[in-house]
Amino acid sequence: MPTVSCNSGLTFEIIPQTTALLVIDLQRDFLDPDGFIASYGDDISTMRSIIPNAVALIQAARAADTTVIHTREGYAPDLSDMHAMKRERGVAGRSGPLGRFLIRGEAGHAHIAECRPSTGELIVDKPGFGSFYRTDLEQVLNDRGIDRLILFGVTTQCCVSSTLREAVDRGLRCLTVEDACAATTPELHNAAIQMIYGENNLFGWVSDAARVLAALTPLPT
């Protein structure tokens, strides 16, 4: 089985039949200049810089016949699936150039063009930060016998970190691809990555796109 060399001297084994690539929230509202995050004045250039690595990982996983699952954060138009705290903060629903921010069905809720799911790939629509919160992701993974995840996306400290913690609590082996994740500031990204190393790699493995790609790409015959 192919293995990935990881930080801290660890290795992560990729078992094609039981491994899934989990692509977290590569949506226009997070990565488009007209989207939700940019509307707050945040610089999204650092987040957009991971797109080439994300594209390469998705393509490699497809070529290796590895399960690819895409997530999207978004809420019902009437916000009925958003809890009161978020409604009070005005997290979603405001109007912008791509429609109402973070509302399912609006242009901003869609994946960016570079990372659109292929026909037949799973899409998990989540009304929260973690990919397991009020979704059927756990059942989907169990049904397919998947026990390990290669995960990346945006933002590192929020939806990626929330998903990673949920997954580890469910006994999944998780590899986070450091340079295919990003936050609005390097400080937030770096802090979230460092937390994975804490307490003897409590939240799993960390590597980079080049090493994961090398493991996913079969040697020429």
- Cα-Cα-Cα-Cα dihedral sign, residues 20, 22, 87, 98: negative
Buried b (16+ CB within 10 A) or exposed e, 25-42: bbbbbbbbeebbbbbeeb
Distance, CA of 68 to CA of 22 (rounded, Å): 6
Asked if 126 is an active-site residue, the reply is: yes
Residue 151 contacts residue 126 (beta carbons within 8 Å) = no
- Cα-Cα-Cα-Cα dihedral sign, residues 204, 68, 117, 71: negative
List 6, 158, 159, 181, catalytic entry: 159
> DSSP state, 13?
E
Asked if 159 is an active-site residue, the reply is: yes
List 126, 174, 179, 181, catalytic entry: 126
> DSSP state, 116?
P
List 6, 25, 32, 179, catalytic entry: 25
Question: Can you read off the two tokens belonging to residue 210?
Answer: 């080049």
> Which residues are known to be catalytic?
25, 126, 159
